[in-house]
Structure 1
Amino acid sequence: MLLLEFAMFPTSRGDSVSPFVARSLDIIDNSGLPYQLTPMGTIIEGEWEDVMAVVKACFDAMSTDCERIATNIKIDYRAGSGERLKSKVESVQKKVGRKLST
């Protein structure tokens, strides 16, 4: 199972890129894959092919009207079951002994 964190944004469309990020989040949300939106990017969980297909769909949508796009990607693969979006956070909270801001 794969956890992929990425941020994708145009560098050629001015200071505010939220309309382009929103376009990507619509694609991610409609993918049906578990995800978590953060202020600095989005984390998606799933099988390699499925997660990469979502990233590609985001790029394809952005590239229709953006001449330059920056993308940062981090990948954590671990064989086995899913639900790591929640279980990794819960594991740390258990060790700290309290709920943390997520």
Structure 2
Amino acid sequence: MAVFAFSVAPMTAGESVADQVAEAVRIVRESGLPNRTTSMFTEIEGSWDEVMPVIQRATDTIVRAGYRTSLVIKADIRPDGRTGELHGKIARVEERLSADEEETGHS
């Protein structure tokens, strides 16, 4: 299991790539795998065999539209098969921050 962060976008001269990126995100969401999209990346959780075809389909939708395409992928690979890390990693950091705030009295 792993959490993959990827960014795919057409390399165009125009300002906005929102339409093309929205289509790629739609493919990720339709996969049924846990996912989250932020301003910089789309994160998706699953096995290599589940996630890589989704990233490929999301990328292909932009390439098929005739655009030169930029793709960046980063992965946090868990050999122990742990799941729920898309949200679990953030929850652990927030817990530590809350504990620090309680100890110092700062919020």
Fold-level similarity (TM above 0.5): yes
Query: Which residues of structure 1 form unaligned runs of 5+?
Result: none
Partner Cα distance (2:37, 2:67) in 1: 25
Name the structure with the higher helix share: 2
Alignment of 1:23-102 (within 5 A): 23-79=23-79, 80-97=81-98
Runs of 4+ in 1 over 2 A off after TM superposition: none
Unmatched 5+ residue regions in structure 2? Answer: 100-107
Return the offset for 1:67.
Answer: 2.9
Cα distance, 1:61 vs structure 2 = 1.1
- On the 8 A contact 1:12/1:66 being kept in 2, the answer is no
Give the partner amino acid of 1:26: R
RMSD: 1.3
Tell me how far apart the structure 2 counterparts of residues 9 and 93 of structure 1 sit (CA, whole Å): 31
Aligned residues: 98
Q: CA deviation at 1:60?
A: 1.4
Decide which structure has the larger Cα Rg and report it: 2
Q: Check whether the contact 1:5–1:75 (CA below 8 A) recurs between aligned residues.
A: yes
Amino acid at match of 2:88: S
Percent sequence identity is 34
SS at match of 1:63: helix
TM-score between both structures, scaled by the size of structure 2: 0.86
Secondary structure at 2:76 match in 1: strand
Looking at structure 2, the residues matched to 74 and 66 of structure 1 have their Cα atoms a distance apart, in angstroms, of 25
